[in-house]
Amino acid sequence: MNFHYHLLINQAAGSGNGKKTADKILPILDKKKLSYTVHYSEYKGHDALIAEHLAEDTLIEWEEDIDADTIGWYPLLIVIGGDGTLHQVLNTFHHLCVSFPVGFIPAGSGNDFARGIGLSRDPEKALETILATKEPQKINVLHYEEKVNDREGLALNNFGIGLDAAIVHATNHSNAKKRLNKYNLGSLSYIFSLLYVLFSQKGFPILVDIGGKRVNFKKAFLCTATNHPYFGGGVSIVPTADVTKPTIDFVVVERVNLFKIAWLLLLLLQKKQMHSKYFHHYTASKLRIVSTIPQYGQEDGEDLEKQSFDLQLTNKTQLLWCEKIVMRDEESTS
């Protein structure tokens, strides 16, 4: 089958890493004499607008028995940007009630999605994988409905309430993040925000319905639903999470004193946090989280202002243009 590649490029992703990545990719496509069109995202929300136009006029839904002779050149979308760019694109398709396979070349600051599903974070290797792929693979993403504020959509990485969301809020509103990203030290901004929020975040009550079983927590500190291991730029919050399984991994960490939190962080760095009695991990096909006291929220690193939540989560299948996904250690994905 012949392909015409549509490259949606967010040059501003990762404080300019999107442009650097595109500068490496485009000459390779030219050298290989491949057919492609470039679509540059130039302002906030432009990713979604480009995706909408492509969905309406250009892209074709994938079918297993697709007739290559009939369509001629198959239009394949490749997103070059951060997790936020891909989030905008897939949510646009979701709200249009259409589904297309998407190739992804990570160029953000955290790149948790690529890390979490085993995609190479090296641009040239990621492109090689896309070009070598013959058919898309199915992965599971989170589908959420938030009843209090009437929001609905997809989360590729995780949806969090409490500590991680407060860290995302503090980081995204910090001038240090932009400065550190210029030197490829963006992860340090998370650490600075973490230290600040650890002292300011208070415990809050939540009610969780896990596949019909209700659990109350009086002093939740961190509350995160995820479908792959990573959040916060490479922190392995649930090492056993797997996008190939139709399940949601849910974590609640209770508010404890700072000495115990420090111990939990040490366990987290060693991927042994599940041994702590203050770290609660559940796996389910559907989930409901109710928080009546306003807290910060985050979806795929995009912060939500303080609010109450009545959140329902399930899985949705997404087609990703990549080779068969095999969950691997972080070291093998770089």
pTM: 0.88
The pLDDT tens digits for 202-242 are 999 999 999 889 999 999 999 999 999 998 778 888 999 99
Q: Where in the chain is the domain with CATH 2.60.200.40?
A: 141-315
Q: Where in the chain is the domain with CATH 3.40.50.10330?
A: 1-134
As a whole number of angstroms, the distance between CA 90 and CA 102 comes to 9
Q: In 32-76, which ranges are continuous DSSP H helix?
A: 46-57, 68-71
Three-state SS for 26? Answer: helix
23 or 330, greater pLDDT:
23
CATH 1.10.3720.10 fits 141-315, yes or no: no
Q: With a cut of 80, say whether residue 114 has pLDDT above it.
A: yes
How far the first Cα of the chain sits from its last, in Å, is: 30
Place of tokens 């860290």: 167
243-270: average pLDDT: 87
The pLDDT tens digits for 57-113 are 999 999 887 776 677 899 999 999 999 999 999 999 999 999 999 999 999 988 999
Tell me the torsion sign for CA atoms 294, 299, 304, 309.
Answer: negative
**1-134 maps to which CATH number?**
3.40.50.10330
Q: With a cut of 50, say whether residue 145 has pLDDT above it.
A: yes
Q: With a cut of 80, say whether residue 156 has pLDDT above it.
A: yes
As a whole number of angstroms, the distance between CA 105 and CA 121 comes to 7
**200 to each of 50, 95, 219, 309, how far by Cα in Å?**
40, 36, 14, 20
